[in-house]
Structure 1
Amino acid sequence: MDLGVLARQHRLAITLLTRGWSRFDDLVRETGLPRRSVEELLAELGEDVERSGSALRLRPDSAERWADHVGCPATPPPDLEARIAEHLADVPPPLPALDHVQATADTVLRRALWLDEHYDLGRVKIVFVGDHDLTSLAVHELRADADLAVVDLDDRVLAHIDRRSEGTIRTVHADLRFGLPRAVSGTADIVFSDPPYTPEGMALFASRAVECLSEPVRGRVLLAYGYSRRHPTLGHQTQKALLNLGLAFEAIVPGFNRYHGAQAIGSTADLYVCQPTPRARRKTKNPQAIYTHGPSSVEAGKTTESREALAAFTALAGEGGRTVTVAGPDWTKPATAEQGTAVALDLTGDPGPWLCRALLAVNAERVAALVPNAHPDLADAASQTALIELVAPKYKLRLLRSTPDNKHAVVVADRVETVSAASQVWTRAHARLGNVWPDAPAGLADLRLIDLPRHRIVEVLRLLTANRSISD
C-alpha cells in the first residue's frame, strides 16, 4: 500500500474500520480523505472488508495485519527531549550572516513528533534543507528506521550531524544560491526547512525543496516562517512569493516554532505545510542577497568591490604573462582554463565554504581568489595548514593576507604537476567518486567530491593517500 504523505488519514480510516461498522460518508468526513482516496483504500483492503448495506468494517482477523501496513507513530523514549538537548548543547555557534537563530529543544522535539504522527517515517524519505536546529537528529532519535538526508551550507553543522548520527544521516554540502546537488535532487517525499525569513530566502529555499521531491504533487514541503504581526505586509510578500512558486498552503500551524532570540518576531514562527501543484516550478533567477544580516543581506544588496582591489588581484593571477579570465563563486559545474590562462575568482562574499570548493571546481595553471581578510581558512596557522593540505593534490598555495588592502586577502594557487591517486580525483571533482576511484567505499561511490561536507573530503584524501590504486 503506497500511502505517500497521507499516512495519518489512512491510519485513522483503518482504526475506524477496526473498531466496528462505519458508513462510507463517515469515513470521508472523519478522516478528511477525498472520496476517491477512500475508494482506493477500500479496494486495497479487498475481501478483508465486510459490508452490511452501506456500513463497512474490517474482518477482526485481518485488522492487526492492516494496522502494520499503515505504520504507527513511535512511542517516544522517556529521555528523548534530554537526548535532543544533548545534541543541541554542542551544536556549532549560530552564524548571524546565515540567519541562524536556535530553536528550543522543545520545538525540535515537537517537530519530530509531528512528522511521525502525520507521515509514515518508516517508509518516506525526508530531506532537511538547512538544519542548524538539528531536527534531523531528533527524528533519528525517535525513528531509527527513518531515511534522512541533510543539505546545508555550514560544514560545521554537517560534521556535527554526521558525528552524532554515526553516519546514518546522509549529509550533503551546497550553497542553494548556486544549485541543488544531484545527491538529493528528486529523492524526497517530504522536505523540511527553516529558511531565511526574507521573501527572497523563503522563495529560494522552497524552490530547492520542490526540486528535492521525487513526485512534487505527491510530496510535501514543510517550512518554518515567522513575521512580526506589526508588519503584515512582509508576511503577505513572503506568502505571495511561495504562492508564485505554485505551492498551495495545506495548513498553517500558528506559533509552532519557538526560538532563543528572534525577538523582533516574538521569538516564534508558524509551520507551513505546502503541497506543490502540477505547475510548481524552480526559480529561474537565484538571488545572492537572501539573508537579513551580513554582507548577503537583502538590505546590503550587491556590493561592488573597489576597482583597485579587483585590479590588484587580477594582476597577481596574470603574473608571467598569462591571460586572465574573471569568474564568480559558482562551483556547481567544472571549469577548465586553456593553457596559458589564469582564472581570477571574486569570492569577496564568501561566508567560508566557497574557497576550497572553488579551487576543486576550477582546473587551471593558476587560480587567484580574492577573499575577505577575515576568511576562516586564513584565520590562524592551523586553518591555513588545513587548507593547504586539502588542495595539495592539485594546487600549491600562496596565502597573501591584507592584500591588496586590509579588507581583503588573495589566495594564489599554482597547479601541481605531480600525478597521484588523489590528484586524479581532485581534478575531476564533479564526477561520481565510484567512476574515478574504483575502491571508493559504498557510502561514497555515488556521491561527487564537490558535494561532500568538508570533513568527508578530508576523509577521502586520507583514504586515497593510504590506497593509491586508481584508474585513469
Structure 2
Amino acid sequence: MDLGVFARQHRLAITLLAEGWSRFDDLVRETGLPRRSAEDLLAELGDDVERDRTALRLRPGTEEKWLDHVGRQATPPTDLAARIEAHLADVPPPLPALDHVQATADTVLRRALWLDEHYDLGRVKTVFVGDHDLTSLAVRELRPDADLAVVDVDDRVLEHIDRRSRGTVRTVHADLRFGLPRAVAGTADVVFSDPPYTPEGMALFASRAVECLAEPTSGRVLLAYGYSRRHPTLGHQTQRALLNLGLTFEAIVPGFHRYHGAQAIGSSADLYVCHPTPRARRKAKGAQAIYTHGPRSVEAEGTASATRETLAALTALAGEDGRKVTEAAPDWTKPITAEPGTAVTLDLSGDPGPWLARVLLAVNAERVAALVPNAHPDLVDAASQAALIKLVACKYRLRLLRSTPDNKHAVVVADRMEGASAARPVWTRAHARLGNVWTQAPADLSELRLIDLPRHRIVEVLRRLTAEDSTPN
C-alpha cells in the first residue's frame, strides 16, 4: 500500500476507526477517500478491522502499527521557526531579473508543515523547482528523513542550500528554459515550485515539474501563483495555461503565501495543488521570455539588445585568423562539437549569470566567441575574471574583451588549450556521467554529470582533479 501522496486521508481514516465504531458511508464522507480507495484500505487492514453489521472499527491496540504503516507526521522541533529564520537571514539577495521576491519566514514554515501534513515525506521523493525561499531547508529541519532535491538557475542559492543542509539536499543546476537535468527527471512523487507569475513562466515551470514526476498521474505538483484581483484576466490566462498542460486543480488555497514585496498582487499568492492527467507528460516549449522583469521579461520580448552590427562584430572576432565561423544557440543541455578549423559564436546577451561557464563546458571547438552583457558576473572584477579563467584553464585560454563591440557588451574569446591533465577528459565530456570519465569520482558524484552540478561543486571537482595531477604515481 503506497500511500505517499495520500497519507493525510489514510491517517484520518485509521484515526477514525481507532476512535470507535464508524459506518462505511461516514468513513468515506469524513476522509474524502473515493469508495474504491476506502475499500482497498479496509482490505489492507485485514483482520485488524472488526465489523458489527454495517459498523467498522480498528481492533484495539493496532492503531500505532497502522499509523506507522501509512506514515506519521513529524513532531516539529520547538525552535523550528528560529531555524528557518536563521537560514533566511543570509540567503543570497533576490535577483529581480529572475523574479525573486522573498517569502516570509512564516510562509516557509507553513509550507513545510502543510507538506508534512498531506504527504508522507519520509517515503516520497520531493523536488523543489526553484527554491530561493529555502522551503527545502524548512522541510529538512522538520523531516530529517525526507528525500529532497532542488533545481535552480541561481548558483548562489544552490551553494547556500548545499552548505546549510550539509549536503543532505541534492542540488542540481538548470535553466528550465533549456531543459530539465537527467538527475531529477522522472524521480519525484511531489514537486513544489514558486514560478515567475506570467502565463509563460507558470506553464514552463509546471511542465518541468511534471517531467520531474516518476508517475505523473499518481504524483502531485504544488505551485504558488498570485495575481491582482483587479485584473482577473491574468489569473484566467495562467489557469488556462495550466489546464492546457493536462493539470487538474485538486485544490486552490487562497492567500497561502505571503511575501516581502510583490505589492501589486497584495504581497500574497495562492497555493495550487495540481493533479496531472495521463496527457500531462507533454513538454512545454522552452520559452525565453518568462519573467516580469529584466532582459528576458515578457514585456522585453522582441527587443533584443544584440543588434545585427553587434553580432557581425562577434563573428569578425571569432574568425579573425580566417577560420570558418558557425553560430550555436545559447543551450548547454547537449554537447556542441565543431569541425576542425571552425569557431563557434554564441549570443549570450541575455545571460543572467550562469550561462557563460556552462557554455564553455558544453562546446568543444578550437575557438568559442561569446557575446555577454558588459556587467556579466564573471567579468565585473578581477577576482571574478580570475575564477572563470581558472575554471576552464584545462580546456580554453580566455581573452576577456570588456566594452566590446560597444559599452553594453563584452566578448569572451576562448581558444582551445592543448596538453594532458586529469581534468581535461572530464571538462571535454561534461555531459557524461562523472563515473564514466573520472576513475576516482566520489560515490555521491559518479552518477551525475558535470554540466548539471552547481558551480561550487564544479570548482570542487576541479580541485580534486588538480590534486590527482600533483599526486605522485
- Does TM, normalized by the shorter one, top 0.5? yes
Shifted more, 62-71 versus 196-205: the winner is: 62-71
Superposed, which structure 2 residues align to 1:282-293 within 5 Å?
282-293=282-293
**1:162-191 C-alpha deviation (Å, 9 max, x unpaired):** 000000000000000000000000000000
**1:229-287 C-alpha deviation (Å, 9 max, x unpaired):** 00000000000000000000000000000000000000000000000011113334221
Task: Name the counterpart of 1:131.
Answer: 131
Task: Name the counterpart of 2:361.
Answer: 360
Unaligned ranges ≥5, structure 1: none
Task: Name the counterpart of 1:390.
Answer: 391
Amino acid at match of 1:442: A
Distance 2:435 2:248 in 1: 40
Amino acid at match of 1:311: A
Amino acid at match of 2:309: E
Distance 2:324 2:118 in 1: 58
Q: 3-state SS of the aligned residue for 2:445?
A: helix
Q: 3-state SS of the aligned residue for 1:237?
A: helix
Q: How far off is 1:469 after superposition?
A: 10
Amino acid at match of 2:266: G
Task: Name the counterpart of 2:301.
Answer: 301
Superposed, which structure 2 residues align to 1:368-447 within 5 Å?
368-447=369-448
Shifted more, 96-105 versus 54-63: the winner is: 54-63
Unaligned ranges ≥5, structure 2: none
Task: Name the counterpart of 1:170.
Answer: 170
Q: How far off is 1:303 after superposition?
A: 3.1
Please tell me whether residue 186 in structure 1 is matched to residue 175 in structure 2.
no
Task: Name the counterpart of 2:328.
Answer: 327
Please tell me whether residue 347 in structure 1 is matched to residue 348 in structure 2.
yes
Distance 1:283 1:226 in 2: 23
Q: 3-state SS of the aligned residue for 2:279?
A: coil
Distance 1:228 1:377 in 2: 37
Superposed, which structure 2 residues align to 1:254-265 within 5 Å?
254-265=254-265
Distance 1:199 1:281 in 2: 18
Distance 1:285 1:451 in 2: 20
Distance 1:298 1:281 in 2: 25
Q: How far off is 1:76 after superposition?
A: 1.0
Shifted more, 53-62 versus 213-222: the winner is: 53-62
Task: Name the counterpart of 2:151.
Answer: 151
Residue-pair matches, total: 470
**1:111-149 C-alpha deviation (Å, 9 max, x unpaired):** 000000000110011000000000000000001101000
Distance 1:154 1:121 in 2: 26
Amino acid at match of 1:372: P
Amino acid at match of 1:356: A
Shifted more, 87-96 versus 308-317: the winner is: 308-317
1:4, 1:218 within 8 Å by CA — same for their partners in 2? no
Amino acid at match of 2:385: Q
Distance 2:408 2:104 in 1: 36
1:221, 1:275 within 8 Å by CA — same for their partners in 2? yes
**1:179-233 C-alpha deviation (Å, 9 max, x unpaired):** 0000000000000000000000000000000000000010000000000000000
1:208, 1:282 within 8 Å by CA — same for their partners in 2? no
1:421, 1:469 within 8 Å by CA — same for their partners in 2? no
Shifted more, 19-28 versus 291-300: the winner is: 19-28
Q: How far off is 1:468 after superposition?
A: 4.1
Task: Name the counterpart of 1:26.
Answer: 26
Task: Name the counterpart of 1:221.
Answer: 221
**CA distance 1:373–1:195, shift in 2 (3 Å):** same
Distance 2:246 2:380 in 1: 43
Shifted more, 230-239 versus 318-327: the winner is: 318-327
2:211, 2:283 within 8 Å by CA — same for their partners in 1? no
Task: Name the counterpart of 1:160.
Answer: 160
Distance 2:225 2:282 in 1: 19
Superposed, which structure 2 residues align to 1:59-74 within 5 Å?
59-74=59-74
Amino acid at match of 2:16: L
2:336, 2:362 within 8 Å by CA — same for their partners in 1? yes
RMSD: 1.1
Q: 3-state SS of the aligned residue for 2:340?
A: coil
Distance 2:366 2:345 in 1: 11
1:197, 1:291 within 8 Å by CA — same for their partners in 2? yes
Superposed, which structure 2 residues align to 1:245-256 within 5 Å?
245-256=245-256
Amino acid at match of 1:253: V
Distance 1:37 1:74 in 2: 25
Q: How far off is 1:302 after superposition?
A: 3.0
**1:280-328 C-alpha deviation (Å, 9 max, x unpaired):** 1333422100000000000000333212211111111112211101112
